Chains A and B, each alone.
Chain A
Amino acid sequence: MTSVKITDLVKDYTLRSGLKRTRLRAVDHVSLELTPGRTVALVGESGSGKSTIAKILTRMERPTSGTVEVRLDDGTPVPNGHYRREVQMVFQDPFASLNPFHSIEHHIARPLKIHGRTQSQEDTRARVLEMLERVNLTPAEAIAPRRPHELSGGQRQRVAIARALAPGAQVLIADEPVSMLDVSIRLGVLNLLGRLQREDQLAVLYITHDLATARHFSDEIVVLYRGRVVERGPSDAVILDPHHDYTKLLALAAPDPERPGRVTSEAAVDRKAIDNSTCYDHFAGEWREAAAGAKAAVSAD
């Protein structure tokens, strides 16, 4: 069991056009906490910085400032060499995240071998089959030698989940794991993630732009707008009782057959008037400075 504490995370990108350099702040003083067995949903549009946070968490990018602490449940920090054993990621596009050249077995066997989870050839094979069965890919013997293009999107995403869990990861970052899948299999994949989370007490960061699944599949929602957290709180509270203008806009824009006929009504919130300098924290029940809220805004529980 492992928990992650992100404090005051900042990421700047330098954009160069000719001789001119401009700085783009993708993530602006974001603080988050992932605890075992809980799901935190990170909600926002494209360009809001959610994918950058995922990249920093998986150490594909370095933060400009701020810290990411990963601790085991006895409080000891995870050593650098073991970081990738603890923190893993499921990518958005199952059609791109598996190498077309390699078999399914290869994809799951590699992380097992890298992190020393197997001793022998037979052991590896047995574990690969076990992982495939855990993600409901049966018969595992038939799936293992196949290559990605022979599987459906949903099946591929299950393979990607198995690969992420293969090193024994305790922290799972799911970057829009179902947005590329057919609607009728989305819930299946999300429920699979839910079961694996309960079985292993995983700490999950669910990155999405879909408010409805964020509400139903997470315990806490963090709304991101232009790199800043503008609202956070228990998922029902954030969706059903949004305080920040941007969250209201998002909630209004999401299709909801329960409230038909909204499409023709003009937008209640003026986009240009949205400011992202404040953040409503449902846990504390008050407004805070979005950027400076780092110390206090870490979720209360």
Chain B
Amino acid sequence: MTNPSNAPAAADNAELLAEAAAETGRAPRSGWRMLLPTMTPWLAVGLILVGGITLFGLIGPLLVGDPTEIRDQGLTAPTGDFILGTTQTGQDVMAQLAYATRGSLQIGFIVGVLATVLSAFFGIYGAYRGRVVDEAFSLFTNVCLVIPGLPLVIVISGFVPRESRGLWTIALVLAITSWAGSARVLRAQTLSVRNRDYVAASQVSGERPWRVIVVEILPNLLPVIASQFVFAVISALLGEAGLSFIGLGASNSSTLGTMLFYAQNGFALPLGAWWWFVPPGLVIALFGMGLALINFSIDEIINPKLKNTRLHRKRARRALRLERELARTGRKVPRQAAPSDEETVR
């Protein structure tokens, strides 16, 4: 079995050789290094967008004034005093944006963590235990998966009285409706990792089940979990914006969604007050885009083939060009082969 894998051997060899070349003369890398994506322009853009917006959400509120302060300069376009203008009631849009970004990020992060924990528990633990536990967990997951998310959120949010509808209520509702998909992905991954020999080997060595899960299986799932987390954050951000926009958001917090809700109620669009609704919309879009770009890079770790296609594209082009040249120059060299080559072929 000289080629244990059955994939096209030529491509495999290339990968192996490239890997071997890359590895020689380099200090042994720790397992954690392997989990980090390689830096690409796309990843850099994603990181800058996400980092910038997060920083804005963290520091922004400290630098701006009171977002609720009502002035008599309603609906002024951006000026030196108000970088992003004011709302109908004369509130500073910039200040609102800073607080709203913080609120949205908060909810996105909380939901991301909750949904990831839920999906990891139901997905990984169920798949590892197998049999009855797996059957029960995956049945539960499937039931949760087919629950229509947004309508349920609307119903729940509608039932909870407005006063007690805090940030955590909304976060919990969003988390409960969004973990099931990730749990299925994690379950599939766990099932494949669980059947690898190294898991069996650690069981034979006498490792306890929780250690097998945490030490042997989990590290190999981290990229998948990270990607699911990023995805959960995006969907939570959008979900919350949607809820707030229709007036079912958290009552005591301001988020990008509530900003849009007030802009809509204040007739920002018909009045042409673009500075009121474009910034929150743009922040949502850019943050989502940044996270998506990061997710693509994580995908490359999960599926190294994606990375190799990118790495090899350049080399492959070079190889192809050189070969074409050889074929062309080879023709000029006098050949003994019959000149009827082309005819034979046709």
Partner-B contacts on A (CB < 8 A): 58-60, 84-85, 88-89, 91-93, 95-103, 110-111, 114-115, 145-147, 149-150, 160, 163, 166-167, 179-180, 182
Contacts and interface: CB of A to CB of B under 8 A. Distances in A.
Contacts of B216: 99, 101-102
Contacts of A85: 206
Q: Find the residue from A101, A149, A179 having the highest chain B CB count within 10 A.
A: A101
B34 A163 contact: no
A102 B204 contact: no
Interface in B1-31: 1-2, 4, 19, 23, 28-31
Contact of A147 (B29, B204, B206): B29
A102 B31 contact: yes
14 contacts: A91-B197, A93-B4, A96-B196, A97-B198, A98-B198, A99-B198, A101-B219, A101-B220, A102-B31, A110-B202, A110-B207, A115-B206, A147-B31, A163-B201
Interface size class of B (residues with CB under 8 A): 20 to 34
A93 B197 contact: yes
A135 to B, nearest CB: 16
A88 B204 CA distance: 7
B37 to A, nearest CB: 16
Contact of A88 (B1, B31, B205, B219): B205
A58 B204 contact: yes
Contacts of A147: 28-29, 31, 34
B105 to A, nearest CB: 31
Given A150-B23, A179-B1, A97 B197 contact: yes
A97 B201 contact: yes
A52 B274 CA distance: 70
B197 A111 contact: no
Nearest to A153: B4
Contact of B200 (A60, A146, A180): A60
A59 B220 CA distance: 25
Nearest to B27: A145
Contacts of A84: 204-206
A153 to B, nearest CB: 9
- Binding site of A, secondary structure by majority: helix, strand, loop or mixed? loop
- Cβ-closest 9 pairs across A and B: A97-B197, A84-B206, A96-B197, A111-B205, A101-B219, A99-B198, A101-B31, A91-B197, A114-B206
B22 to A, nearest CB: 11
B4 A95 contact: yes
A89 B31 contact: no
Nearest to A81: B206
B142 interface: no
Given A93-B197, A147-B28, A147-B31, A100 B220 contact: yes
B203 interface: yes
Contacts of A97: 197-198, 200-201
Contacts of B201: 89, 91, 97-98, 160, 163
A117 B107 CA distance: 49
Interface string B249-286: 00000000000000000000000000000000000000
A187 to B, nearest CB: 16
B205 A145 contact: no
Given A85-B206, A103-B31, A179-B1, A91 B200 contact: yes
A186 to B, nearest CB: 11
A150 B206 contact: no
Given A98-B201, A102-B216, A102-B219, 19 more contacts: A59-B204, A60-B200, A60-B203, A88-B205, A89-B201, A91-B197, A93-B4, A95-B4, A96-B198, A97-B197, A99-B219, A99-B220, A110-B202, A110-B207, A114-B207, A147-B29, A163-B205, A167-B206, A179-B1
B223 to A, nearest CB: 11
Contacts of A58: 204
A188 to B, nearest CB: 17
Nearest to B23: A150
A92 B198 CA distance: 11
A111 B220 CA distance: 20
A111 to B, nearest CB: 4
